[in-house]
Amino acid sequence: MIKLDGIHVSTEIKKQIATEVLALKNNCKKIPHLAAVLVGDDGASETYVNAKVKDCAEVGFQSTLIRLPSTISENELITEINKLNNNDAIDGFIVQLPIPKHINEQIIIKTIAPNKDVDGFHPQSVGKMALNLHTFIPATPLGVLKLIEHYKIETAGKHCVVIGRSHIVGSPMSILMGRNAYPGNCTVTLTHSKTKNLKEICLTADIIIAALGKPEFLTADYVKQGAVVIDVGITRVKSDLTKSGYKLLGDVKYDEVSAKCSYITPVPGGVGPMTRAALLLNTLFAVKK
Amino acid sequence: MIKLDGIHVSTEIKKQIATEVLALKNNCKKIPHLAAVLVGDDGASETYVNAKVKDCAEVGFQSTLIRLPSTISENELITEINKLNNNDAIDGFIVQLPIPKHINEQIIIKTIAPNKDVDGFHPQSVGKMALNLHTFIPATPLGVLKLIEHYKIETAGKHCVVIGRSHIVGSPMSILMGRNAYPGNCTVTLTHSKTKNLKEICLTADIIIAALGKPEFLTADYVKQGAVVIDVGITRVKSDLTKSGYKLLGDVKYDEVSAKCSYITPVPGGVGPMTRAALLLNTLFAVKK
C-alpha cells in the first residue's frame, strides 16, 4: 500500500510555483495577485481564508484579503466584486463560501469575471471543464487530479466510483475522471444519496473517490483488494485523546481500508493540502492565460 | 414491452407549443423566432436545417434560414453571428454543425449569445446544466428527458448506463440523469471507447442510453430483463429491401433487445422526432426567459 502524501506533493507543487514566480520577478513581469473576499465572521471561513493568504506568501504571490460585514447587501457585494473584476492588479479572486443567506450565492458566483474565477465555480468554467477545454477547475478536484498524476496512477479504462454529487467536489470529479485525458478516461459511476446498492457498486471500483462528508463511512467491506481510495471528506469530531479535544476524520475508515488498497490518501495530509495548492495553480493559470 | 413513441409524444409537445404560440398571438405578444445558419452545402445538414424550418412553421414560430458559402472566413461568420446576437427580432438561433474545417467550431459556439443559445452548446449553457440551473439543454438529451417524463418512467435510484461520451449526447445525458431532479437521481455510469467490460456493466443497468453511433451494437446479451432502453443512434445503411436503397439503423438490435425490455425506443420514430421537438422547446424557453 502506498500512501498518497498530499503534504509532500503539495510542497513540490508550491516549490515549482515559487520558481516560476521568481522567474517572473527576474523578468520584471507581473507577480500573481490573488484576492479573497470574506463576508461576515464565520470561524471556519476565517481559517480557510487565512490559510490561502499564507499560501500566497509562501510561493511569492501577492494577496489581498477583503473583509466585508455580514450585513452587506447583495447589491453592495456585487459592487465589490465588480471592483475586483475591473482591477487589473488582481489576477484572480475568490468569494469565500458560504455567504450570508440573504445573498443569492449563484448571482454572486455569476458576477465574478470568468477570467478571474480561480475557484472554478462560474457556470462558464464548469461548462468549459465538461467540454474538456482549458479552464479553471475547482480546487479539490484539481488537487485530486494532481495527486493521481504525481503518483502516475493508471486511470484509462479503470472503473472510478465517485461517492457524492456536490457541485464543488463529486460532480466535477465525475466529469473530470471520464474525460478523454490523463488523469481521466475512466468508466465513471456517480453515486449519491439516492443510490441503492452502493456497497455492491464500490466493490467493482478500481478507484473510489469518497466525497460524501460522513466520517469513516467507507469501511473495508466496500473496497476491492488493490483499489485506489481517495478520501475527500474531512469532518471535525470530538476526541478525548487529543489536546485540542477534537480530531479530523475522513469519509474512509483508514486503518481497515488501507490494508486492502494499492494507494490511499490519509486524512489529514491527503486531499486537503492538495486543494490549497490547486488554488495557487489556478491563480498562476489566471496570469498565464 | 412498451414502445416509447417519439412521433406521438413529439406531436403532443408540438400541439402544446402551438397552443402557447396562439395565446401569444392573441395577446399581441412576440411570436418566437428561430434562425438557423447553414454554412456550405452539406446534404445532411441541408436536410436537418430544412426540417427545423418546417417544424417552426408547424407550431407557428417564425424562422429564418441564413445560407452562407463554405468559403466564408471565421471572422465573417463571427460578424454574421453578432448580427443575430444583436437582432431583437431573433429569439434564438443555431449554427448547423459541422462547419467547414478552416473555422474553429469552439470559437463560433462561444460567439453565440448565451441567451440565444437554443442548441445548448455554449460553455455557459453546459455549465448551468451541470449546476442544475434553468438553462438550454442540448436537444437530443432534452428530447430523451421529455420522453422519459411523458411515460412517467421511474428514474430515482435506478442505475443508468450511458454508452458514448460525445459533448452533444452522451456526456450531457450522463450529467442530466445524475442530477437531483426528475428525470434524474439515477446512479449514472458513463461508458465510452476506453471502457473494458461494457457488457458486464450494461447487464447491471435499469436504464441504458445508447449513443455510440454503431448500428445494432447493443444486442440482447447486454440487456437485463425489464430494462429501459433508449436508442440515440441513427445510421444510414445500404439495403436491398427498401425502395430508397438504404435504411436507418439505431445502436440497438431492436428485435432481440425489445423482447427483454420494459420500455424501448424504436429507430426511426423514437429519439429523432423528440430531438426536433426539443429545439422548439428551447426556442420557446428563449422567449419566456
B151 and B263 both lie in a single domain: yes
B163 and B234 both lie in a single domain: yes
pTM metric for this prediction: 0.97
Preceding amide of A98 cis, omega within 30: yes
Asked if A188 and B187 come within 8 Å (Cβ–Cβ), the reply is: no
* Whether the predicted pLDDT of A201 surpasses 90: yes
Domain assignment present for residue A147? The answer is yes
- Find the CATH number of the domain harbouring B230: 3.40.50.720
Closest CA to B168 of B194, B129, B218: B129
Q: What is the DSSP letter of B166?
A: -
**pLDDT at residue B288 in the model:** 87
Classify the C-alpha dihedral B146-B149-B150-B151 as positive or negative: positive
Distances in Å between the Cα of B135 and the Cα atoms of A209, A271, B229, B241 are 29, 33, 26, 44
Amino acid, res. B192: H
d(CA A226, CA A261): 5
Asked if B123 and A106 come within 8 Å (Cβ–Cβ), the reply is: no
**pLDDT at residue B289 in the model:** 77
Total structural domains within chain A: 2
Q: Which residues of B touch A125 (CB under 8 A)?
A: 127
Domain assignment present for residue A148? The answer is yes
B68 and B186 both lie in a single domain: no
From first to last of its 289 residues, what are the pLDDT tens digits of chain B? Answer: 999 999 999 999 999 999 999 999 999 999 999 999 999 999 999 999 999 999 999 999 999 999 999 999 999 999 999 999 999 999 999 999 999 999 999 999 999 999 999 999 999 999 999 999 999 999 999 999 999 999 999 999 999 999 999 999 999 999 999 999 999 999 999 999 999 999 999 999 999 999 999 999 999 999 999 999 999 999 999 999 899 999 999 999 999 999 999 999 999 999 999 999 999 999 999 998 7
A57 and A172 both lie in a single domain: no
Q: What is the DSSP letter of B269?
A: S
Domain assignment present for residue B171? The answer is yes
- Proportion of chain A above pLDDT 70, given as a percent: 100
Q: Which residues of B touch A128 (CB under 8 A)?
A: 123, 127
Asked if B157 and A130 come within 8 Å (Cβ–Cβ), the reply is: no
Asked if B204 and B239 count as a contact pair (C-beta separation under 8 A), the reply is: no
d(CA A285, CA A135): 8
In angstroms, the separation between the Cα of residue B173 and the nearest Cα of chain A is: 12
Asked if B124 and A127 come within 8 Å (Cβ–Cβ), the reply is: yes
Domain assignment present for residue B84? The answer is yes
Catalytic residues of A: 52, 96, 119
A99 and A202 both lie in a single domain: no
List the single residue in B133, B178, B192 with the smallest CB-CB distance to A190: B178
List the single residue in B131, B171, B195 with the smallest CB-CB distance to A167: B131
B183 and B252 both lie in a single domain: yes
Asked if B146 and B5 count as a contact pair (C-beta separation under 8 A), the reply is: no
**pLDDT at residue A28 in the model:** 94
Question: What is the SS3 assignment for B173-194?
Answer: HHHHHHCCCCCCCCEEEEECCC
ipTM of the complex: 0.96
B154 and B85 both lie in a single domain: no
Grid coordinates given for A260: 486492502
Asked if A189 and B191 come within 8 Å (Cβ–Cβ), the reply is: no
Q: State whether residue A110 sits within 8 Å of chain B by CB.
A: no
A67 and A159 both lie in a single domain: no
Domain boundary among B71, B98, B113: B113
Q: State whether residue B130 sits within 8 Å of chain A by CB.
A: yes
Residues spanned by the domain of B145: 139-271
Domain assignment present for residue B22? The answer is no
Q: Which residues of A touch B201 (CB under 8 A)?
A: 187
Residue of A nearest to B187 (CA): A191
Residues 6 or more apart from B7 whose CB is under 8 A from it? B269, B273
* Whether the predicted pLDDT of A288 surpasses 90: no
Domain assignment present for residue A235? The answer is yes
Closest CA to B250 of B238, B234, B237: B234
Domain assignment present for residue A9? The answer is no
Distances in Å between the Cα of B213 and the Cα atoms of A185, B66, B164, B233 are 19, 29, 8, 5
A176 and A269 both lie in a single domain: yes
- Find the CATH number of the domain harbouring B57: 3.40.50.10860
List the single residue in A130, A190, A196 with the smallest CB-CB distance to B188: A190
Q: Which residues of A touch B124 (CB under 8 A)?
A: 123-124, 127
Q: Which residues pair with B36 in a beta bridge?
A: B65, B94
A97 and A158 both lie in a single domain: no
Domain boundary among A114, A149, A169: A114
- To the query of whether residue B96 is one of the catalytic residues in this protein, the response is yes
B166 and B212 both lie in a single domain: yes
Domain assignment present for residue A170? The answer is yes
d(CA B263, CA A113): 45
Q: State whether residue A123 sits within 8 Å of chain B by CB.
A: yes
A45 band by pLDDT with thresholds 50, 70 and 90? very high
**pLDDT at residue A289 in the model:** 78
In angstroms, the separation between the Cα of residue A13 and the nearest Cα of chain B is: 28
SS3 content of chain B, % helix, strand, coil (to 5): 40, 15, 40
Asked if A124 and B123 come within 8 Å (Cβ–Cβ), the reply is: yes
In angstroms, the separation between the Cα of residue B163 and the nearest Cα of chain A is: 10
A33 and A108 both lie in a single domain: yes
Count A/B contacts: CB-CB distance under 8 Å.
108
